[in-house]
Chain A
Amino acid sequence: MTSPLLSVENLRIELAAREWMVPVVDDLSIYLNAGETLSIVGESGSGKSMTALAVMGLLPSIGRIAQGRILFEGRDMTHMDDASLRAIRGNQISMIFQEPMTSLNPVYTVGEQIAEVLRLHKGLSNQDAWSRAIDLLDAVRIPDVRRRAKAYPHEMSGGQRQRVMIAMALACRPKILIADEPTTALDVTVQAEIFELMRELARETRTATILITHDMGVVAEMANRVVVMYRGEKVEDGEAEAVIQRPQHPYTQTLIASVPHLTTEAAPTVATQAPNTEKPLLSVRDLTVQFPVKKRFGKREMFTAVNGISFDVMRGKTLAIVGESGSGKTTAALAVARLVDAQAGQVTLDGTDMLGLEGEDLRRARAKVQVIFQDPYSSLNPRLRAGDIVREPLDNLGTLPASERDDRIAELFDKVGLHRDQMRLFPHQFSGGQRQRISIARALSTNPSLIICDEAVSALDVVIQAQILDLLQDLQRDLNLTYLFISHDLGVVQQVCDEIAVMYMGDVVEFGDRQTIFSNPSQAYTRNLLAAVPTIDRARNDSPATP
């Protein structure tokens, strides 16, 4: 047996916190063989990105390798001088990062940024480097390359920027490519394209890949082997297929449970019920939302975010609106809540014509619709105590006498699984999951008819996500709540919704119950969307490159 291309032995990484060093990776050993794809899976803070940065020799200044070795082709990189490290970086081992929006230098053209690596490591002349850069951009399928090579990063979409990053990383035909959550910031259809490209290029160039992700579906579709990390330690590793089939560690099991199942849909509960004849709680007809966009030289144009959509939601049910970024799903929901102005259409909620309300009437009607937002950090006012955050709607909208509000708040804290003593704390003293619980308590405070969950669990790690989804479902059962659930994550949608509206560029392209949408979608866009979702239970049409 030949020795592996890269091996990490007993690695311990520490970060400086106030007065002491905290280990973020401990006793980690992994190896990577030539040409294979190894996936490192874990949640944020599990140490997976730190491991990647340590291999690159790019740990932040507050971090250090406290123990262990990183051997690349038998040479210990932890004891290498800077010049030798630089000769490896970007040449033999290269890396692509999570944020395509910020990872490219905004003041240089993308062509120049690729040509730079070639001049540096391959000693190419300006002209040769540039024409090679154009070839590379062509290989990652940037259209109209000769012109686009002279574009600046801000003139490209997120997906295109990530393609540029890939071109840059592969420019010198490295032996190892490290990809740190390369598609997390991208839409699922773009993600599928990027992965397709990575697979193809890796196979062509026989580059070994370390793919860092939090998504077991991605592992199933991309990796030969997998290492599962939890709180800085390796908790499980093995052949990807074996780990997915027989996960040992409870954390791995949770990760696998969160991946959507696209073909094994159980019989939905809706179908067994008698056809619903009661009036819908929420009825939306021809809703249109437009924004003025400032064009150059002061000319104004209207951008249509939501293009005359219609849907109904029954009391006690959950309607999910799914779509990619820019589909208009959040705008539509916020227009229903009158938090964004609609240009046309009709929204009837519990018998009230929502779009017709103005002034004080509108303000009072807000009690009927409450929103749970995406970002657990920015959705709570940092200057208010948790109890006062929940109190805000009660003070402004509630019919409850002031004397009973304290009891009501305490009761809400119980309901969402927070301790009553925590009412006095400020938002920054809570974890992300706890903050979402405060948001839920706030949304419940006015006894709303409709609760809009705007990507309410998207910012949470998988384990916490599962807890919050459970809470939402328990509350729905207990209180007969109605949810309008906005999400891009089909795995999440599958767990919570009764019906689904699929939005694409401002239109609802498909509407139906969960089972129909997941197992038998009628529209091409829905099929593409579903096909793009990484899953563990679909026969791979394109298995990972075998070494």
Chain B
Amino acid sequence: MSDQKTIKARSPFAEAFEMFRRNHAAVAGLIVLLLIVGVAIFGPLVYPGNPFDMVWAPFTPPGQDGYLLGTDYLGRDILSLLIHGAKVSLTVGLAAAFVTVTIGITVGALAGFYRGWVEEVLMRFTEFFQVLPTLLFSMVIVALFGASLTMITIAIGLVSWPAVARITRAEFLRIRELEYVTAARAGGVRNGGLIFRVILPNALPPIIVQAALMVGSAILFEAGLSFLGLTDPNVASWGQIIGSNREYILDASYTVTVPGVAIFVTVLAISLVGDGLNDALNPKLRQR
């Protein structure tokens, strides 16, 4: 403390990054996640072929006849299906999380900042969405409006945002009472500036963590829908592989277990990253 001149400026985010880097599980999760992203992007180039082609005898066990993960009930190459499914899972996961966070932050920030009747109306609206069972509601949307990937993404986003809205609102309610916000107001900052430049950056940590977890739950969600068969039949997806092979678990359990591992590992990696972010961004764990 005595030699302040030599101290390097360290932003709270730089410190969070340092914390994250030291968290082995989170770094491992991040590496696995990056690998999966790599497979989704480059996999189809390295391992070409239409995943829906029937390439070999159905129920060829993994490793046999050159099919690393075997073939399914229609004789399709499971490895190829998984590679193509990765892209769908990640894209839907990210896009749905984006929709979720956008709606959630908007609703939560407005409710938490303006309070009064704005808050009352928005929070009642949020509660209403929380009453609808998420999967059922998105099933209904997909059933009524068509099972395209876009519709699935919108449906997932539409049912998942209340969690983000609640967290954002809680953070806004907390932060708006802090003295630095009053100080900014005394310093002539306008409402827009207070929301976006003063409060939101400080409210972000828990929202970022929630957003990371949202990607994971959106992937699970998409898998659930496609497991039930509510997906675009022309696109390979992990849940769909499990759903369509479900009846044959007695003969070929790998057709179900292997794609499940793909979902499990992806979501696990995302959770580890999310937990790492949580520990790194949680101010309670750092000194004030």
Contacts and interface: CB of A to CB of B under 8 A. Distances in A.
Given A397-B188, A419-B4, A442 B183 contact: yes
A285 B258 CA distance: 78
Interface stretch (A32-40, A63-71, A379-387, A496-504): A379-387
Interface in B1-39: 1, 4-5, 7, 9-12
Nearest to B12: A382
B188 A381 contact: no
A44 interface: no
Given A383-B11, A419-B4, A339 B198 contact: no
Interface of B: 1, 4-5, 7, 9-12, 178-180, 182-190, 193, 198, 201-202, 283, 286-288
A429 B10 CA distance: 8
Contact of B1 (A379, A392, A431): A431
Contacts of B283: 382
A75 interface: no
A364 B7 contact: no
A337 B186 contact: yes
A421 interface: yes
B189 A392 contact: yes
A426 B186 contact: no
Interface centre among B180, B186, B193, B288 (most CB of A within 10 A): B186
A382 B185 CA distance: 16
A397 B202 contact: no
A162 interface: no
Interface in A258-296: none
B12 A363 contact: no
Interface stretch (A6-14, A212-220, A320-328, A365-373): A365-373
A91 interface: no
Nearest to B181: A381
Contacts, number: 90
Nearest to B193: A396
Interface in A356-411: 363-364, 366-367, 369-371, 373-375, 377-383, 385, 392-393, 396-397
Contact of A392 (B4, B9, B187, B201): B187
Contact of A379 (B180, B185, B188): B180
A165 B9 CA distance: 45
Contacts of A334: 182
A428 B185 contact: no
Contacts of A392: 183-184, 187, 189
A426 B11 contact: yes
Nearest to B185: A339
Contacts of B179: 373-375, 378-379
Interface residues on A, range: 35 or more
Contacts of B202: 381-383
5 smallest CB-CB distances across A and B, nearest first, come from A396-B188, A393-B187, A379-B179, A397-B188, A373-B179
A366 B11 contact: no
Contacts of B288: 377, 428
A383 B204 CA distance: 11
Contact of B188 (A337, A375, A393, A431): A393
A424 interface: yes
Nearest to A386: B9
Contacts of B9: 385, 424-426, 429
Contacts of A339: 182, 185-186
A428 B12 contact: yes
Interface string A13-33: 000000000000000000000
Contacts of A366: 185-188
Contact of B182 (A364, A373, A385, A396): A373
B186 A369 contact: yes
Contact of A422 (B4, B180, B186): B4
A475 B77 CA distance: 79
Given A419-B5, A425-B7, A429-B7, A380 B180 contact: yes
Given A425-B7, A426-B9, A446-B187, 9 more contacts: A364-B188, A379-B183, A381-B184, A382-B12, A383-B201, A392-B187, A419-B5, A429-B9, A442-B183
A381 B198 contact: yes
26 contacts: A366-B185, A366-B186, A366-B188, A367-B188, A370-B186, A370-B187, A373-B182, A373-B183, A374-B179, A375-B179, A377-B288, A378-B180, A379-B178, A379-B180, A381-B198, A381-B202, A382-B180, A385-B11, A393-B187, A396-B189, A397-B187, A397-B188, A422-B5, A428-B288, A439-B183, A446-B187
A307 B189 CA distance: 30
Nearest to B178: A378
A356 B283 CA distance: 41
A439 B202 CA distance: 19
Given A378-B179, A428-B288, A431-B1, A371 B186 contact: yes
Contacts of B11: 383, 385, 426
Contacts of A377: 288
Contacts of A381: 180, 183-184, 198, 202
Contacts of B286: 428
Contacts of A422: 4-5
